[in-house]
Amino acid sequence: MKYFLNSWAFQNVLVVLLILLLAWIVMVMRQSEYWRAAFRRVFKRKLARISFVILSIYCVIALLDSVGFNQPLRDTEGQVQCSADTGKVLRDEQGMSLLDYILTPLRASKEKTYSAPFATHQFTKETVMDETGNSSRKYPALKHPRRHLFGTDKVGNDVLYIALKGIRTGMIIGGMTTLLVVPFAILFGVFAGYFGGWLDDIIQYVYTVLSSIPSVLLIMAFMIVYGQGLTQLCVIMGITSWTGLCRVLRGETMKLREMEYIQACEAMGVSKLKIMFSHITPNLMHIVLITAVLGFSGRVLSEAVLSYLGIGVGADTISWGGMINDARMEMARSPIVWWKLFAAFVFMFGLVLPANLFGDALRDALDPRLRTE
């Protein structure tokens, strides 16, 4: 089960769901003048436009990395192999994503071990034997000199490639958690706020219990028990973060419930479910959207910390947190190997900063009074 949950296929189901959800939201928003006006206001800002472009690039890379295929197996001569019995083309069981395919030159340009960015020679000395059998220690030349924008890591992988692969992990952690959080938060928040009474009590009780546990501790406990993995991390981050949004939505719903147009609906006999989902929820969407975008960047940052604490996505998945974790040892070298940490820093910063800026712009345009920490 754990393997299924962490498998690529399962994660991609979620990716598809996420895309569908996004598409639906965009469709709904396009129909409303309010949202179109709001987004016009957002895109009036230069920073927001730039941020949006950068975020889109990240999204595209993450998507490319999510579309995968199994390459046909080739024998030593390069011929495609077929099964002896069925005649079907045999395929490599270890899949490959479009991103891997595009980055084949980067992926293939492996060195033996560390090399600095744009270096021509290896970072460490090695004993080299010449024809006469004399050994001497020198820096061997790289197989692919001046090709590594961020240098290479301990086993000679291009760090740029690893950082690019980390994008999908980062986006999934930010995005998938949101996917888990939003429906629950809306459902529970609106129900609790609209119905009140015992339902409200129960929902309040549940989220108070959850939020009374320090979230780091709850995440730790969960990860120890269920093991490390991307899916587990998303689930537990979802569990710890829906409470905040739910609380806000509940409060807003309580306010809306007293508004005249809702009272009018009730008087006309519109069913309660319809009131909740057609009249209340759309008026909460701006809060949801702002929280989602700002929460996204927070989650990307927490992933790094959690991976560093040893309770992150695990060693199987390439992630920026994992890169920082690896870099711990490298920082102690003399001279230090700084490029892996640097690459993780650049890529993380490149995602979180635009997300924050875009979130800010959204908030200013939609609800300047909403307080976010």
Partner 1 sequence: MIKLREKYIVRVLVLVLLALIVGCSNDPYRPGEAAEHTFFSSFATPPTKLDPSSAYYVHEGKIIDQIYEPLFTYHYLKRPYEVIPNTAESIPIPVYFDKSGKVLTEKDPAPAKVARVEYTVQLKKGIMYQNHPCFALDADGKPQYVNVTLKEIKKYDYPSEFEFQGTRELKAKDYALQVRRLADPRLSSPVFSIISQYISGLAELNKEYIEMLAAERKRRQDAAGAAYNQEHDEKANPIRLDYFAPKFEGFEVTGDYEIKFVLKRKYPQIIYWMCMHFFAPVPQEAVDFYQQPAMNEKQFSLNRCPVGSGPYFLETFKANEVIVLTRNPNYHDDFYPVEGAAGDVEAGLLIDAGKKIPFIDKQIYHLEKESIPNWNKFLQGYIDSSGIANDVFDQAVQISAGDGALLSPEMQEQGIRLITDTDPTLWYTGFNMLDDVIGGYSTERCKLRQAISMVMDYNEYLDIFLNGRGVLAQGPLPPGIFGYRDGIKGVNPFVDEWNAKRSRHERQSIEKAKALMVEAGYPDGRDKDGRPLTLDYDHSAGMDPSFRTRFDWTRGRLDLIGVKLNDKGTDLSRFRQKRKQGNWQISSGGWLADYPDPENFMFLFYGPNGKVEAGGPNMVNYSSQKYDQLFKQMESMANGDERQNLIDEMMLIVQEDAPAIWQFYPVSYALCHKWYKNVKPHAMSYNVRKYQRVDAALRVKSQEKWNKPVYWPFVLLAGLLLLSLLPVVMKQRLK
Partner 2 sequence: MFGYIIRRSLYGFPILLGVNLLLFLLFFYVNTPDDMAETFLGEKHITQEQIDNWKQEHGYALPRFINTAESFPGVITQTIFWQKSMSLFAFRFGRSDQDNSDIGTEILRRIPYSLCITVPVFIFSMMLNLFVAMIVAFYRGTYVDTWVLILCVVMMSISALFYIIYGQMVFSILFKLVPVSGFDSKFPHYFKFLMLPILMGVISSFGGGVRYYRTIFLEEINKDYIRTARAKGLSEGVVLFKHALKNAMLPILTNVVVMIPFLIMGGLLTENFFGIPGLGSYMIDAISRQDFAVLRSMVFLGAFLYVISLVLVDISYTLVDPRIRIG
Q: Which residues bind partner 2 (CB under 8 A)?
A: 205-206, 208-209, 211-214, 216-218, 220-222, 224-226, 297, 301, 304-305, 308-311, 324, 331, 341, 345, 348-349, 352-353, 356-357, 360, 369, 371, 373
Neighbours of 270 (CB within 10 A): 14
Structural tokens at position 307: 């991976």
Q: Which residues, at least 6 apart from 293, have a Cβ–Cβ distance to it below 8 Å?
A: 355, 358, 359, 362
CB 115 within 8 A of CB 148: yes
- By beta-carbon proximity to partner 2, the closer residue of 72 and 227 is 227
**Chosen from partner 1, partner 2, none, partner binding at 260 (C-beta under 5 to 8 Å by type):** none
Binding test (CB under 8 A) with partner 1, winner from 295, 298, 314, 354? 314
Stretch that binds partner 1, among 20-28, 72-80, 208-216, 276-284 (CB under 8 A): 72-80
Does 77 sit near partner 1 (CB under 8 A)? no
Does 371 sit near partner 1 (CB under 8 A)? no
Q: Which helix (H) or strand (E) covers residue 19, if one does?
A: helix 8-31
Eight-class DSSP state of 157: -
Stretch that binds partner 1, among 35-43, 75-83, 166-174, 206-214 (CB under 8 A): 75-83
**Chosen from partner 1, partner 2, none, partner binding at 6 (C-beta under 5 to 8 Å by type):** none
At its nearest, how many Å lie between partner 2 and the CB of residue 150?
16
Does 36 sit near partner 1 (CB under 8 A)? no
DSSP 265-315: HHHHT--HHHIIIIIIGGGGHHHHHHHHHHHHHHHHHHHHHHHHTT-SS-T
Question: Nearest 5°: phi and psi at 293?
Answer: -70, -45
Stretch that binds partner 1, among 46-54, 70-78, 178-186, 359-367 (CB under 8 A): 70-78
Does 303 sit near partner 1 (CB under 8 A)? no
**Chosen from partner 1, partner 2, none, partner binding at 322 (C-beta under 5 to 8 Å by type):** partner 1
Q: Which residues, at least 6 apart from 272, have a Cβ–Cβ distance to it below 8 Å?
A: 194, 195
Residues of span 1-30 touching partner 1 by CB under 8 A:
2
Binding test (CB under 8 A) with partner 1, winner from 54, 73, 98, 187? 73
The Cα 232–Cα 218 span in angstroms is 12
DSSP 51-98: HHHHHHHHHHHHHHHH-EEPPBPB-TTSPBPB-TTT-PBPB-SS-EEH
Question: Nearest 5°: phi and psi at 196?
Answer: 65, -155
Using DSSP's 3-state secondary structure scheme, residue 152 falls into: strand
Binding test (CB under 8 A) with partner 1, winner from 79, 259, 331, 372? 331
The Cα 256–Cα 263 span in angstroms is 9
The Cα 243–Cα 211 span in angstroms is 7
Does 315 sit near partner 1 (CB under 8 A)? yes
- Per-residue x/- marks for partner 1, 149-168, CB under 8 A? ----xxx-x-----------
Stretch that binds partner 1, among 71-79, 180-188, 240-248, 290-298 (CB under 8 A): 71-79
CB 48 within 8 A of CB 357: yes
Does 93 sit near partner 1 (CB under 8 A)? yes
Q: Give residues in contact with partner 1 (CB under 8 A).
A: 2, 73, 75-76, 81-85, 90, 93-94, 112-113, 124-127, 133, 135, 137, 153-155, 157, 224, 227-228, 310, 314-316, 318, 322, 325-326, 328-334
